[in-house]
Structure 1
Amino acid sequence: MPYIPHTPEDLREMLAVIGAASVEDLFTEIGPDMRPKRFDLPKGRSEMAVVKHMEHLSARNRSDLVCFIGAGVYDHYIPHAVDALTSRGEFYTAYTPYQPEASQGTLQAIFEYQTAVTRLLGMDCANASVYDGGTALFEAIMMAVRATKRTRVVVSGTVNPIYRTMLASYTCNLNLEFVNVPGRGAETDIEALKAAVDDKTAAVIVQNPNFFGSIEDCTDLFAHAKSKKALSIVSAYPVMQAILKTPGAMGADVAVAEGQSLGMPMSFGGPYLGIMTCTKEMVRQMPGRIVGRTKDTKGRTGYVLTLQAREQHIRRQKATSNICSNQALCAMRALVHMCLLGDEGLRRTAALCVERAHYAAKRLTELPGVTLLNKGSFGNEFAIRLPMSALEAIDKLSAKGFVPGFPLGRYYQGMDDVLLVAVTERRTREEIGVMAELLGGIL
């Protein structure tokens, strides 16, 4: 029996109702060159054979490596209570809370998450949420385009290049003009960004700390953008925001972030959490789910989806966004993680990451031929230039149980010998010292 048990007569009746001659007619909008010619699927296997095969593949993964990789995804410690609480059935299986009378727990959790991230980023409003940091940045751009009716976007070259690649992909058919402003080494070129923002600019996009880990104050840039009636968008790192000047304090209109550092494992790239926050003036452009708190007819506190009708998800091109799957579980993990750590815990975590990153930078730059690219302040991430290929260094140290960082040559011309090193609270001084000694041994 086929997977969909419709008889040929069933198919003929359905096709007749919609006026199609065949099932193939339903795909005429997809060009022939984009359709698969065949599916070369292997023959089915028994359960025992499949389990053995998957165990073999799993055994090839290296979970024992000491990780200094960052570039938007970080190896932070996750308290066991995060898994214990979010794996409860009422959270783990909860789906879209369209019926508030039956979903008060889920709605309250979403509201509390929104409250926590707006306080963390110093903004007015938040949604809950989108897929990851890159899609959040794309959605922020679309908010700016809708709000300003402009199509020119100025982007700093120190914004995560993986996100910039995603933006190019997501917007390739939207007739947007992107102006990429290169950084000055590891620093954002604030003056060049100001010069690039004009009366036709929809938004200017920066990252803080930037992709190289450098910390910068963009207040003057955002004030300049406002004078041109352009919007300011910041891509932030949530953990570092516990001790840095917030996007709100700088005057940002929209602040987004990758929420993975708040209670989600690195997990081969997902699922992650796209945090989105904005000013009150921009909230009606915000995509996705927004929960508000109100009172019922008896004066009791209640929570509801607000500024969004159910039809948001079926309005196709008229919707502010077509992101409508359940991101609430990842948001729940971030909320539980933030609540477990609290204000003081988040600040201590961020400060510990910074302290150990600076210790690592000191140890590494003491090695012959190793130099630091960051000229100013940096957080828990920094870039070093090596007297050898960064990929070669990674290969040699990985064989010894250490991944020393992220190679930048793939994304930045002339940086084949540059390594981006990230240090979290999980990295001990002993591990940093061993990594420095191993690197010194191959230079």
Structure 2
Amino acid sequence: MRYLPLTPAERADMLGVIGVDTVDALFEDVPAAARLPGPVPGLPMHASEMAVDRHMSALATKNLSAGAAPFFLGAGAYRHHIPASVDHLIQRGEFLTAYTPYQPEIAQGTLQVLFEFQTQVARLLGTDVANASMYDGSTGCWEAVVMAGRVTRRKKAVISGGLHAHYVATCQTMAKFTGDELVVGTPALSADTDDEEVIAAIDGQTSCVIVQYPDMLGRIPDLEAIAAAAQAHGALVIAVVTEPVALGLIEAPGHIGADIVVGEGQSIGVGLNFGGPYLGLFGCREKYLRQMPGRLCGQTVDAEGRRGYVLTLSTREQHIRREKATSNICTNSGLCALAFSIHMTLLGGEGLAKLARINHQAARRTADALAAIPGVSVLNDAYVNEFTVVLPREAREVVRELADRGVLGGVPLGRLYPGNDALAKGLLVCASELTTDADIEAFASTLSEVLEGVPA
């Protein structure tokens, strides 16, 4: 395809059609402070390909990669072992190059993969049905809010303070355009979840209650109590799972009252990948099936009685009239969904439970080692593989010093909640099957050195 730049007259015609005078007017929603008046300062206007490659390679060497150091980061993105067979299989041509299954007669393999994925997700989340994936957990969370509004015909969502800050921010961004009211709880460095605060905020105008399970600090809320309160007011419960491995050890949220369950599937089969692409999981009760966003693949038989797979439900605007669509999400994270499905197949139900127990044991050993350090306390009474510790100093400073000494020692809550001084000393720590005793010893000893001399 030839590159044909627009002439000034053509640009003017296009701007006139959409009703603005200049291209800059299209960026009014971007804060002025975030817009540059010209080229990026200090960046040369041109450079050779070799020079750029040398420069970028030099920058890359400054990274401390996940596999090169003791690693205790979590907070919605997790480092787990991915069997070599996962990457081998997803790179097969029929999977890697497949686009989207519009025509069942030529996409039976793709449709079957998505059907099996849906089955696994529904069983994992404890829901009746699951769709063929979303972009990621945070956008899936917002889609659940919109879905709850359609079901209840209400516009108020109560959000637990334990919901991941990035998920909250995604909902707040989208609510600006829909007029939904979001009642967001305030996270606190406490062993207790904010169940009572959430329940107290539910009223007759509430469409849904959003609760993370386990929550942002690794605590496990009482979903059954929240579900009972929501049901009494005709509201739906949306459970958010950012770490699906945890469901190998604790009850699936769909079995204990959640009407809609969404989550991030990255930790099963999908690497950290510098933040993406990731995989959104979405399941719900069968009675809400037709309000579910995205696509649903189904199993049927053809005219000769042979098993076949079809696109049973497709409620996105690319397929139907925009005003009838339940979502503007235009595709599923197909390759990531396949990786998830292959890894889950290799694990099986018993394997997932065993993996979760190994994760929990690693987390317990880590928590015990950190709790033995003067001035450090473990916040949680219960957790799976992620927990919060309280430090005698601001956690962001400590994390930087740990990284300088070759340890990736958790996610400071101050980074996720800037300006919240009450959370500044909180450090979210995650352990997994990849966490060794040597890693734990290095973390504990390095943290002791960093905190040496700080009053307990």
TM-score by length of 1: 0.92
The answer to whether the 8 Å contact 1:111/1:291 transfers is: yes
The equivalences for 1:154-165 within 5 A come to: 154-165=158-169
Name the residue aligned to 2:145: 141
Of residues 241, 245, 266, the one that matches 2:247 is 241
Mark the runs of 5 or more structure 2 residues left unpaired by the alignment. Answer: 29-34, 452-456
Check if 1:356 corresponds to 2:362: yes
Give yes or no for contact 2:376–2:392 (8 Å, CA) kept in 1: yes
Give the match's secondary structure for 1:421. Answer: strand
Matches within 5 A, 1:333-412: 333-374=339-380, 376-410=381-415, 411=417, 412=420
Residue deviations 1:185-224, cap 9 Å, x none? Answer: 2432222222211111000010111111112331121022
2:195 paired with 1:190:
yes
Q: Deviations over 1:254-292 (max 9, x none)?
A: 001111101111121110001001110111111112101
Is the CA contact 1:95–1:326 (under 8 Å) kept in the aligned structure 2?
no
Post-superposition offset of 1:26: 4.1
Determine if contact 2:316/2:328 at 8 Å carries over to the other structure.
no
Equivalent-residue separation in structure 1 for 2:253 and 2:388 (angstroms): 24
How many angstroms apart in 2 are the aligned matches of 1:223 and 1:406?
A: 33
Residues 407-416 or 64-73, more deviating:
407-416
Distance apart, 1:155 and its partner CA: 0.6
Counterparts of 1:311 and 1:179, CA distance in 2: 29
CA contact (8 A) 2:294 2:331 kept: no
8 Å Cα contact 1:98-1:310 kept in structure 2: no
Which is worse superposed, 173-182 or 27-36? 27-36
Which of 208, 220, 223 is the equivalent residue of 2:228?
223
Q: Secondary structure at 1:302's aligned position in 2? A: strand
Q: Secondary structure at the match of 1:303?
A: strand
Closer/same/farther in 2, CA of residues 182 and 43 from structure 1, 3 Å limit: closer
Q: Give per-residue Cα distances to partners, 1:112-150, cap 9 Å, x unaligned.
A: 000001011111111121111110100000000111110
Q: How does 1:168-183 map to 2 (within 5 A)?
A: 168-183=172-187
C-alpha displacement of 1:173: 2.2
Query: CA separation in 1, counterparts of 2:344 and 2:435?
Result: 20
Q: 1:257 aligns with which of 263, 266, 284?
A: 263
State the secondary structure of the residue aligned to 1:441: helix
1:437 corresponding residue in structure 2: 445
Q: CA deviation at 1:422?
A: 0.6
Asked if 1:425 corresponds to 2:433, the answer is yes
Is the alpha carbon distance of 1:311 and 1:137 closer, same or farther for their aligned partners in structure 2, counting shifts above 3 Å?
A: closer
User: Which stretch of the first structure deviates more once superposed, 316-325 or 22-31?
Assistant: 22-31
Does structure 1 residue 100 correspond to structure 2 residue 104? yes
Contact 1:65/1:398, CA 8 A, preserved across alignment: no
- Greater CA drift, 311-320 or 297-306: 311-320
SS of aligned partner of 1:388? coil
Equivalent residue for 1:59?
Answer: 61
Report the alpha carbon displacement of residue 402 of structure 1 after superposing the two structures with TM.
Answer: 0.6
**Deviation for aligned residue 1:27:** 4.5
Tell me the CA shift for residue 315 of structure 1. 3.4
1:415: which partner in 2?
Answer: 423
Query: How far, CA to CA, are the matches of 2:369 and 2:322 in structure 1?
Result: 54
Letter in 2 for 1:143: M
1:2 Cα offset (Å): 7.0
Say whether 1:79 aligns with 2:83: yes
**Identity of paired residues, percent?**
45
Q: Which residue identity lines up with residue 13 of structure 2 in the other structure?
A: S
> Which whole-Å CA distance do the structure 1 matches of 2:13 and 2:230 have between them?
54
Pairs aligned (count): 433
Q: Are residue 40 (structure 1) and residue 39 (structure 2) matched?
A: yes
Once residues 145 and 175 of structure 1 are traced to their aligned partners in structure 2, the CA distance between those partners, rounded to angstroms, is 11
Equivalent residue for 2:275, pick from 269, 275, 284:
269
Distance 1:393-1:108 versus aligned 2 partners, 3 A rule: same
TM-score normalised by structure 2 residue count:
0.89
2 CA distance for matches of 1:421 and 1:5?
A: 51
Q: How far, CA to CA, are the matches of 1:160 and 1:37 in structure 2?
A: 30
Task: Name the SS of the counterpart of 1:239 in structure 2.
Answer: helix
CA RMSD of superposed structures (Å)? 2.3
Deviations 1:62-96 (A, max 9, x none): 22232111111111111111110001111111111
Instruction: Assess if the C-alpha contact under 8 Å between 1:148 and 1:202 holds in 2.
Output: yes
Q: 1:28 aligns with which of 3, 6, 19?
A: 19
Q: Structure 1 residues 47 and 441 mapped into 2: Cα distance closer, same or farther (>3 Å)?
A: closer
The answer to whether the 8 A contact 1:187-1:212 is kept is no
Q: Is the 8 A contact 1:384 1:420 kept in 2?
A: yes
> Within 5 A, what are the aligned runs for 1:287-366?
287-308=293-314, 312-313=318-319, 315-366=321-372
- Worse-matched range after superposition: 418-427 or 187-196: 187-196
For the 8 Å contact 1:288–1:321, the answer to whether it is kept is: yes
Q: Distance in 1 between matches of 2:126 and 2:349?
A: 13
2: CA distance, partners of 1:314 / 1:413: 48
Secondary structure at the residue paired with 1:355? Answer: helix
Comparing 271-280 and 37-46, the one that deviates more? 37-46
When residues 164 and 311 of structure 1 are mapped into structure 2, their CA distance, relative to the original with a 3 A threshold, is closer
Query: What amino acid is aligned across from residue 301 of structure 1 in structure 2?
Result: R
Kept after mapping to 1: 8 A contact 2:262/2:281: yes
Deviation digits for residues 30-89 of structure 1 (CA, Å, limit 9, x no counterpart): 772726898738645444334333323322322223211111111111111111000111
**Kept after mapping to 1: 8 A contact 2:294/2:316:** no
Taking a change above 3 Å as real, the CA distance of residues 317 and 407 of structure 1, as seen in their structure-2 partners, is farther
